[in-house]
Structure 1
Amino acid sequence: MKLLLDATISWRLIKLIENDFSNCFHSNDIQVNQPAKDLEIWEFAKKNNFTILTHDDDFEKLLLLKGAPPKVIILKTFNQNTKQISELLVSKKQALEAFILNNELMILEIY
């Protein structure tokens, strides 16, 4: 499962989930001008077959405007720290995998 974490998500999350989600990158680590803009993250994810993981509703707007791919997972995890978010993602791993494999779905919100 290829996840690209938006700048709104801590880069520290990768270390916490790497055993369960081995192919994750942070937007700080991709080959675009930094700080990466939403559209640059979008284009990188599309070109490299990533699903975007974000807190940012702007990616939902991009999805509605441009369509998938890439797919978008929006975390609606208000006031949760990075450790809590990692635990949530690991607990929902099967649902995330099913979402990514389902060609009819474009967006997933996680609460």
Structure 2
Amino acid sequence: MKLLIDQNLSHRLVKHLQEQFPGTEQVRRLGLTNNRDTTIWEYARQHDFVILTQDEDFFDLSSLRGAPPKVLLLRTGNLPSAEVVALLRSQLLLIYTLLAPESEVNCLELT
């Protein structure tokens, strides 16, 4: 499972999440900054990403369109990158289980 990190989260997360989520990228690194959410959604769908975001608009898209892509929504407020990494690592089994391709869950919210 690879993550597409939304622009509201640091590009520095990419390096720290490669071990758990190989192939992870961030929208800025892909030249997708300032694109509409639907453009990022479509890119994630076409390239088999799970979207990692704090933007509730992706929750809405997930409810409206279903998956793919799946969405990992952080409802934590602004955290330092190290705390985001720690949260994701602490919830790794839950993330892998609920966002697996065969799972019917389209959006997972972490708090």
TM-score, length basis structure 1: 0.89
- Residue type at the aligned position of 1:109: E
Shift of residue 103 of structure 1?
2.5
Amino acid at match of 2:38: L
Spell out, residue by residue over 1:29-80, the C-alpha distance to the aligned partner (whole angstroms, 9 max, x if none).
Answer: 2365x42321111000111111100000000111122221111110011232
2:60 maps to 61
CA distance, structure 2, for counterparts of residue 75 and residue 25 of structure 1: 17
Q: How does 1:21-60 map to 2 (within 5 A)?
A: 21-30=21-30, 32=32, 34-60=33-59
CA distance in 1, matches of 2:78, 2:3: 22
Structure 1 segments (4+ residues) deviating >6 Å: none
How many matched pairs? 110
Cα shift at 1:15 = 1.5
Which residue of structure 2 aligns with residue 11 of structure 1?
11
Distance in 2 between residues matched to 1:56 and 1:31, nearest whole Å: 19
For 1:87 and 1:65, how far apart are their aligned partners in 2?
30
DSSP-derived class of the 1:63 partner: helix
Q: CA RMSD in A?
A: 1.5
Equivalent AA in structure 1 for residue 7 of structure 2: A
Q: Which residue of 1 aligns with 2:83?
A: 84
* TM-score normalised by length of structure 2: 0.89
